[in-house]
C-alpha cells in the first residue's frame, strides 16, 4: 500500500482477485453439496456412495441432469478456474492432479492384491473415486503447505 | 535461483499484496518468489523487470556468482 488510508492500484487488484477466489470456492462448495445431495439415496444399498454402485437406479432425465452437473462441476468449472489463477497456484493444482492420478495408479493394484489376500473388501468404483479425490486434495495441501512453512 | 524482489519492494514501500496486484499474480506467488520457493516463469520475470525498470539479470541470479 502506498498510503495507510488509500490503497494503491496493486492492492485494489489483489482484493478483487481474493474476492473472485472466494466466489469460486463458494460456487464449488455449493455444486459439490448439490451433487452429493442428489446422489445420496436414502437406501444405502442403492446409493452412489454405497459399495455396490451397480445397484444405483435413477430416472433417465435425472441421470442426464446429474451427469451434466458433474461434467460442469468436475471438468468445465475447474478448467475455467485454471485460466483464472496465476502460475504459482497453477503449479500447486498440477501437483494435486498428479497426486490424484498416482493414488489411483498405485491404489487400485494394491487394493486388488490386498483383496486377493483376504485383507479388505473387493475394490469398488466409489472407493477408487475417493482415492483419486483424496490423493488430489492431500497432494495439493502438501504443495500448499510449502507456502506456509518457513522452509 | 536468488532474487532481490523483497529489497526492491521494500525500497518502494509496497506490501506483498500491492506488488502482487501490480504484477497481476496472487500475494502467495509474490511471497513464494521472495522466499525462493517458486521460480517465476520467463514471462513473469520480464513483467517484474519492466515494473522495476531494471534488466532481469539485475533482479534474478542463479546464485553462482
Three-class HEC string of chain A: CCCCCCCCHHHHHHHHHHHHHHHHHHHHHHHHHHHHHHHCCCCHHHCCCCCCHHHCCCCHHHHHHHHHHHHHHHHHHHHHHHHHCCHHHHHHHHHHHHHHHHHHHHHHHHHHHHHHCCCCCCCCHHHHHHHHHHHHHHHHHHHHHHHHCCC
pLDDT at A42 over 70: no
Are B19 and A10 within 8 A, CB to CB? Answer: yes
A52 Rama sector, left if φ>0, alpha if ψ -120 to 50, beta otherwise: beta
Any idea where the domains of chain B sit in the sequence? 2-53
Q: What is the mean pLDDT of residues A71-86?
A: 93
Note the pLDDT of residue B56. 96
Q: Which residues of B touch A85 (CB under 8 A)?
A: 26
A123 close to A115: Cβ distance less than 8 angstroms: yes
Fold entry, domain B2-53: 434 Repressor (Amino-terminal Domain) (1.10.260)
Q: pLDDT tens string for chain B (65 positions)?
A: 899 999 999 999 999 999 999 999 999 999 999 999 999 999 999 999 999 999 999 999 987 76
For residue B60, the SS3 value is strand
Looking from the CA of B12 toward its CB, the CA atoms found within 13 Å total 18
CA distance A67 to A50: 18
- Residue B61's beta-bridge partner residues? B2
pLDDT at position A6:
76
Whether A86 sits inside 8 A of B24 (CB atoms) is yes
Query: How close A75 comes to chain B (CA, Å)?
Result: 23
Cβ–Cβ below 8 Å for B17 and A1? yes
Q: At residue A2, does pLDDT exceed 50?
A: no
Task: Specify whether the CB–CB gap between B16 and B34 falls below 8 A.
Answer: yes
Judge whether A89 is closer than 8 Å to chain B, CB to CB. Answer: yes
Whole-number pLDDT of residue B65: 60
A88 has pLDDT over 90: yes
Which cell goes with B27? 500475494
User: What is the average per-residue pLDDT within A82-106?
Assistant: 95
Please, which residues 112-151 of chain A have a Cβ atom closer than 8 Å to chain B?
A: 146-147, 151
Amino acid at each position: 500500500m502506498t498510503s495507510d488510508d488509500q490503497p494503491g492500484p496493486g492492492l485494489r487488484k489483489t482484493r478483487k482477485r481474493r474476492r473472485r477466489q472466494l466466489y469460486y470456492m463458494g460456487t464449488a462448495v455449493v455444486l459439490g453439496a448439490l451433487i452429493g445431495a442428489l446422489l445420496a439415496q436414502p437406501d444405502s444399498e442403492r446409493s452412489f456412495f454405497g459399495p455396490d454402485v451397480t445397484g444405483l437406479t435413477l430416472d433417465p432425465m435425472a441421470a442426464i441432469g446429474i451427469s451434466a452437473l458433474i461434467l460442469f462441476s468436475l471438468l468445465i468449472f475447474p478448467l475455467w478456474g485454471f485460466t483464472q489463477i496465476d502460475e504459482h497456484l497453477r503449479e500447486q493444482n498440477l501437483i494435486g492432479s498428479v497426486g490424484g492420478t498416482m493414488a489411483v495408479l498405485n491404489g487400485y493394484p494394491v487394493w486388488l492384491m490386498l483383496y486377493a489376500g483376504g485383507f479388505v473388501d473387493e475394490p469398488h468404483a466409489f472407493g477408487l473415486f475417493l482415492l483419486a479425490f483424496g490423493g488430489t486434495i492431500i497432494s495439493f495441501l502438501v504443495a500448499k503447505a510449502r507456502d506456509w512453512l518457513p522452509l | 535461483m536468488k532474487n532481490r524482489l523483497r529489497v526492491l519492494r521494500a525500497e518502494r514501500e509496497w506490501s506483498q499484496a500491492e506488488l502482487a496486484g501490480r504484477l497481476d499474480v496472487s500475494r502467495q506467488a509474490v511471497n513464494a518468489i521472495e522466499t525462493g520457493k517458486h521460480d517465476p516463469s520467463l514471462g513473469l520475470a520480464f513483467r517484474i523487470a519492466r515494473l522495476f525498470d531494471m534488466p532481469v539479470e539485475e533482479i534474478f541470479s542463479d546464485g553462482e556468482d
